[in-house]
Amino acid sequence: MNKPLIVENAVRSFGDRKALNGASFELRKAEFLALLGPNGAGKTTLIRSIAGRLRLDRGEIRLHGQPVVPGAKTAETARLGIIPQNIAIYENLTARENLDLFGRIFEVPSGQLRERINRALEWTGLADRAKEPVSGFSGGMQRRLNIACGVLHKPDVILLDEPTVGVDPQSRQRIWEMLKQLQADGVSIVLTTHQLDEAQQICDRIVIIDNGQTIAAGTFDELLDASVGRRRRVTFTLGGIVTALPSGCESRSDRSATFSVDSITADLTSRLSQFREAGIEVTDVSIDVPTLQSVFLHFTGKELRED
């Protein structure tokens, strides 16, 4: 199955409000897909629909080729892992007890449960604290355990809802490493996140959702080409006050000048040569690289956290 998850024209309303209004996307095998959107875009509704917890008004969701029937427990849904945004574990239980509980709930074969728990503890770096109540864990540790509890049954498709919210950079890095390991094992991953820089670097493809609709989907380069383009804005910091600048300057101040270039390799060298020939000293060069933030703003017209 090359596309373990397919969402087609998903529509779901809550009263008069349409949370999903035709959202569609496909998840490929062993792909790391980022699902981006401002608050209220429909991301959580979409994830709950994929998990079978919400019934769509229209549209279809297919998991491993089979339609997802809300409420029904099938072999396909058994191969799905959900990691919620909340740290949904039992704080009075130890890490091992939490894994044991969720392993049984998600029907991990009893003969394999103990081994999988041990591996999960090693994987999350919690082996030496396996017998301590989770309430004493840091946020990052709880997040890692939260993920482990959701993948103990070794799903093929994992949905993560903001898995790194509220954790320190080290823990966040650790979590990303864990997810990349899963991807290397062939797991297909969908995650929602507000960490655009990380989504840009880690994820294979990006789907942008707004107002319940898919407004853009593709790799970062594809989205870049479809939005702000690949041109870079280069700002030269000048050594002194310059009155005459080479042509093509888009903006300037007393001590800086900004140009747009298509190729860093060719155009930057050319611009530096122009400054040298004009006798203008350049003390610094900064390149404004288009980011997912600028792509996102281009498509949605709003900041990621805007209501």
Partner 1 sequence: MSRRCSLCFCISQAKNCARIDDCRLPARRNSVAWHDAAGSLRNGFCLREQESPPTERRDNSREQESPLAAAGQQQAIGSAERTCFMIFALIKAQWISLFRDRMAMALTFALPCVMFTVFAIIFGGNGGESEVSKVKVIAVDLDQSRVSSKMIDSLKSMDQLLVESLPETPTEKSDASNDPRMAAAKLVKTGKAAAAVVFPVGLEKSVALFGAGEDRAGVEVIYDASNPIAQQMLTGVLQASAFTSMPDILITQGLDQFRTLAGPFSPLQEAAVATLKTFASQEPTDDANEATGGMKAMSMSDGLVRIQSTPAAELFTETAPRAGKITSQNMISYFAAGISVMFIMFSMSGAASGLLEHEEKGTLERLLTGGLTVFRLLIAHWLFYVLLGVAQIGLMLVFASIVFKLDLWHGPQLLGSAVMAIVSSMASAAFVMMIATLCKSRKQLEGLSSIIILIMSAIGGSMMPRFIMPKFVLELSSVAFNAWAMDGFLDVFWHYIPGESILLAIAREVFVILAMAAAFLAVAFVSSRRWAVK
Catalog residues that contact partner 1 under the rule CB under 8 A: 1, 51-55, 64-65, 70-71, 73-75, 78-80, 82, 84-90, 92-93, 97, 100-102, 104-107, 109-112, 116, 133, 149-150, 153-156, 185-186
**28/232 with CB nearer partner 1:** 28
Q: Which is nearer to partner 1, 62 or 174 (CB)?
A: 62
Of the pair 92, 170, the CB lying nearest partner 1 is at 92
Distances (CA, A) of 218 to 32, 83, 203: 12, 24, 11
Shortest reach from residue 119's CB to partner 1, in Å: 9
Least distance (Å) from partner 1 to the CB of residue 183?
12
Q: Which is nearer to partner 1, 101 or 282 (CB)?
A: 101
Smallest separation, CB 215 to partner 1 (Å): 26
Closest CA to 132 of 98, 178, 167, 160: 98
Cα three-residue angle 162-167-169, rounded to 5 degrees: 110
CB of 114 to partner 1, least distance (A): 13
| Least distance CB 100 / partner 1 (angstroms) | 7
Least Å distance, CB 65 to partner 1, is 6
- Asked if 186 contacts 212 with a C-beta cutoff of 8 angstroms, the reply is no
Q: For residues 238 and 235, what is the distance between their CA atoms, to the nearest angstrom?
A: 9
Smaller CB distance to partner 1: residue 111 or 240?
A: 111
In the complex with partner 1, the residue whose CB is nearer, 106 or 236, is: 106
Phi and psi for 217 in degrees, rounded to 5?
A: -155, 140
Query: Closest approach of Cβ 151 to partner 1, in Å?
Result: 10
What is the end-to-end Cα distance of the chain in Å, rounded? 38
What is the rounded CA–CA span in Å between residue 146 and residue 288?
Answer: 37
Q: Between 86 and 201, whose beta carbon lies closer to partner 1?
A: 86
Report the C-alpha gap between 247 and 179 in whole angstroms. Answer: 48
Distance between CA atoms of 85 and 11, rounded to whole angstroms?
Answer: 23
Residue 253 sits at the vertex; the CA angle it makes with 251 and 257, to the nearest 5 degrees, is 50
